[in-house]
Structure 1
């Protein structure tokens, strides 16, 4: 049985390597030792490069990944990348990005390609049933709360801004209005909290989600893995890939998912939206909002 998608808890990957070490071949043991000591590097090395560095063949690298329970080397790399996203400090990430991007003269092309790849992976990893469930949960909620901490707040504000055009029950939790839990004090079991969270995970985001669950509310998590802290206590999980070898993560796929949520809700509320925007057009014209 292979541990593909997010079924493997990456934070236990080092323990898996240690446990399986005795049963490995000589070449695989060399790979295991190197990975344990240099997992930050291995996460972004090709199979051929890792084999060359350790002194084994590329096929041995692939068999090493298989021995750990992965169907291929790319899946093993995914697990390592998920691990380092939660472990590396910002300083370490800057150092890694400097060494990687300085080798590439065309940084613009590299970053854009990584964003494209993240969107493709998001399409591959996200279950359509989870998306449909999220739409149903939002539409049926008495009140929709949306929150994100640090850089994730911009995804939350973007999602809330457009949902406000469709629904009249949207509350964006603002960090300048006090603690998130204070703003959710009237939350009930009829409400939903949409929480956006990416590494490095904010402790306050997790405590806010746990508060919402204690109030009986549903929680929709927009995060990078089913092993993310908020995912473990959420009702609906929308997994969004945000890998980037830098001190910043790619939020482009998160904005794309936000777009999909808005359009999904809008498709269910088509008649109300048309009437609402007709009224808005009259207001915009009266107050000369646009040229």
Structure 2
């Protein structure tokens, strides 16, 4: 979405109050389309004039123009099944709990789809395809996602590494990186200092950094060449699980398309290795 790019490009020059609004609207962009400047300012805790100056800082003639652009985006380009249209239905529906949870996940995936910039996604997949080495980092609650992503990427390409500070010398691992390396870093609120410290070291090695976080303004943005925001309603990794894994699957799928011949050869090689003693056979295998 254009709003995310404009905020990221202009965030440093914003006032403290404007930065407060920027952080809010990245998580609630539809509020611009639905609220007046005064209403939006009241929700955020800033003045109406700050809302208008925020619009100026992004290059718009005023809040009316910004609102018009957002309304065009959400109510013309977006499918009718938007999260706002389903909110009341979710709350009033007396249905199985698992359906309510999964519906919430579906809406989070739809919101994340809208937030991902297609050009940035394609650029990231291209860099992964051309990379001589790929590294994946995610600590604490981000650890399972990073583990899955490194394993899946390793099925497509050689030389994929899962960074594990608890069992390896991170300095040695980072020292092997260069401009032909791509490092994917997953960092969610609360943002671990260790993740950011490693990211800073990685950046000094001139590696290409793909950040995945819950906001375009998350601390990892400072070290990312490209940053992908995954929607998390309550700034919780639990809320982000569904859209996070869906987006990571999109990355793996994009790489498979780029590496289709190499991937096919790797699959043939993988299947040629005797593994009957590792897996239980089924009727479909015979």
Q: TM-score, normalised by structure 2?
A: 0.67
Q: Does 1:138 align with 2:128?
A: yes
Q: Is the 8 A contact 1:222 1:240 kept in 2?
A: yes
1:149 alignment counterpart: 139
Cα pair 1:284 1:290 within 8 Å, conserved: no
RMSD (Å) for aligned C-alpha atoms: 3.8
Aligned residue number for residue 111 of structure 1? 101
- Deviation track 1:177-214 (CA, whole Å, cap 9, x = no partner) reads 14533432221222111101111111111111110111
Alpha-carbon distance between aligned partners in 2 of 1:59 and 1:15, rounded to the nearest angstrom: 14
Residue 222 (structure 1) aligned to one of 201, 212, 217: 212
* C-alpha distance 117-13 of structure 1, shift in aligned 2 (>3 A): farther
Matching of residues 62-81 of structure 1 within 5 Å: 68=51, 69=55
Is the aligned partner of 1:172 residue 2:162?
yes
TM superposition shift of 1:248: 3.6
- 1:267 to 2:267 alignment: no
Partner of 1:251: 241
The alignment partner of 1:199 has SS state of: coil
In the alignment, which residue of structure 1 is the partner of 2:77?
A: none
Q: Find the counterpart in structure 2 of residue 61 from structure 1.
A: 39
Q: How many residues align?
A: 230
Which 4+ runs in 1 deviate beyond 6 A?
A: 9-14, 103-106
- CA distance in structure 2 between the partners assigned to 1:60 and 1:275 by the alignment: 60
Cα 1:259–1:284 shift into 2, 3 Å: farther
Matching residue of 1:15: 17
Q: Could you tell me whether the CA contact under 8 Å between 2:177 and 2:207 is conserved in 1?
A: yes
SS at match of 1:251: helix
Deviation at 1:151, TM superposition (A): 1.0
- Runs of 5+ unmatched residues, structure 2: 56-62, 71-91, 282-286
For residues 231-280 of structure 1, the C-alpha deviation after alignment (integer angstroms, 9 at most, x for no partner) is: 12211222221223768432211111111111111112112222221222
Distance 1:185 1:112 in 2: 42
- 1:190-209 equivalence runs, <5 A: 190-209=180-199
Offset of residue 144 of structure 1 = 0.5
Structure 1: give runs of 5+ residues left out of the alignment: 19-34, 52-57, 76-102
Aligned to 1:128: 118
- Is contact 1:226-1:232 (8 Å) kept? no
Distance 1:123 1:185, change over 3 A: same
Report the alpha carbon displacement of residue 60 of structure 1 after superposing the two structures with TM.
Answer: 5.6
The 1:282–1:232 alpha-carbon spacing in structure 2 relative to 1, beyond 3 Å, is same
Distance in 2 (alpha carbons) for counterparts of 1:214 and 1:59? 42
TM-superposed CA distance for 1:228, in Å, is 1.1
Please, which moves more after superposition, 235-244 or 199-208?
235-244
